[in-house]
Structure 1
Amino acid sequence: GAALRTLTEATTPALARRVAALVQEAVRLRPETAGQVAGCVDRRLEQGPTARPVLLPLVTGLLDGGPEQVRAALATVLAAAGTPASRPLRRELLESLLDRERDPAVLDAVLHAAAAQGDADMDRSGGGDMGRSGAGDPVEAPYRREDEIRGLVHRTGLLLVRTPEGATLLDRGLADLGRHVPGFAARMARWLTEAPDDWAGMVGPGARRTIENLAGVRVPA
């Protein structure tokens, strides 16, 4: 575990692809290390743009040939809100993941991390108005973050419903998120009401009933 963390955190741009291959093999032998690898990537993301020359080849290498466990762990990290410094690189790497990923378990990890973004934003803002940070830097307006979360949940849902297994995971995931992520059921009900055609054929009856019950509103069928 410690050697794997050191290898991931100390790699250079020239060695990133080779390190990715070594990490892939290590995770295949010890799947429980996937979370440690993702944690190392998460910490390097917080270094901002300076980490890109290393993380781009390292992460894309892991996404290309890594086992499901490491891809799912990376999906959770890349779809997280992160800090403003890490967000552009997270988005770039997440885009790379979504362009190539079709495994329902990995996409389910994206869905859960995307839904949790709204909860994380509420925690950072104290549940109140998001205006400017104490340092005077503008904080992203709530509506902009909401649009981004909605877009990611919708795109992930479209990828999931391509297979029966994925559709089942999506229905179960939306219901589970509605129960356990504060505000998600109300947010999902609002999205379904505002643009029902966008979600047609995506949200199953089980998830729809759960969302309605939790949000206390009816949504279009």
Structure 2
Amino acid sequence: APAALAPRVAALIGAAVARRPETAGQVAAYVDRRLQSGPAVRPTLFTLVTGLLEAGPTPLRAALGGVLATPGAPDRQAPRRELLDALLAHETEPAVLDAVLHAAARSAEEDLGDLVRRIGLLLVRTPEGAAAFDRGLAELGRHVPGFAARVAAWLADAPQDWAAVVGPSA
């Protein structure tokens, strides 16, 4: 029965965050804690979070994207990645995608390059998004140790894969 209530709860939370955007971080922190709880919470949590990702206000989707882009405990990474995939399957708002980029960049995940490129492909669909991606990469290169070197390595290893998301001056 709790999973059946999740869509209504998601709508209520979304409305509350729309009125008070500063609460988005608290909702995301709660989701982060629940993701650490294990498989028992999965049915209800996934229904709730996917509802928030699909219809929640931008600040909430950005906060949730930041949580989902961080690896979490090794045995709890799969649910985060599944929810992150759900977000990236339909997200178009540059602010949300930028939040995901910034959160992901601080991880040492092996597939970080694939995730960064995937975010870039979503962002470069619009001039605003392309500018946000360029700014994000430059900012992360300055502030996240080793990130610039990783980007340079990704570009050198597979320039054709990155051609659509970075300019020739990169």
TM-score range with shorter-chain normalisation?
A: over 0.9
The percentage of aligned residue pairs carrying the same residue is 64
**Aligned residue runs from structure 1 range 1-221, under 5 A:** 12-118=2-108, 145-146=109-110, 148-204=111-167, 208=170
Give the AA of the match of 1:180.
H
> How does the TM-score come out when normalised to structure 2?
0.95
Q: Return 5+ residue gaps in structure 2 as ranges.
A: none
Deviations 1:92-118 (A, max 9, x none): 101110111111111111111111112
Deviations 1:60-101 (A, max 9, x none): 111111100000000000111111232110011011101111
Deviations 1:34-74 (A, max 9, x none): 00000000000001222211111101111111100000000
| TM-aligned CA deviation for residue 202 of structure 1 | 1.3
The higher radius of gyration belongs to 1
C-alpha distance in structure 1 between counterparts of 2:117 and 2:41, whole Å = 29
C-alpha distance in structure 2 between counterparts of 1:32 and 1:88, whole Å = 28
User: What is residue 136 of structure 1 aligned with on the other side?
Assistant: none
C-alpha distance in structure 1 between counterparts of 2:95 and 2:167, whole Å = 18
SS state at 1:117 partner: coil
C-alpha distance in structure 1 between counterparts of 2:76 and 2:2, whole Å = 19
SS state at 2:75 partner: coil
In the alignment of these two chains, the number of paired residues is: 170
Give the AA of the match of 2:115.
L
Conservation of the 8 A alpha-carbon contact between 1:27 and 1:34: yes
Conservation of the 8 A alpha-carbon contact between 2:121 and 2:164: no
Deviations 1:150-199 (A, max 9, x none): 11001110000000000000000000000111110111111111111111
Point out which structure has higher relative CO (alpha carbons under 8 A, 6+ apart): 2
SS state at 1:58 partner: helix
Q: Return 5+ residue gaps in structure 1 as ranges.
A: 1-10, 119-144, 209-221
Conservation of the 8 A alpha-carbon contact between 1:80 and 1:114: yes
| TM-aligned CA deviation for residue 204 of structure 1 | 3.5
Give the AA of the match of 2:43.
P
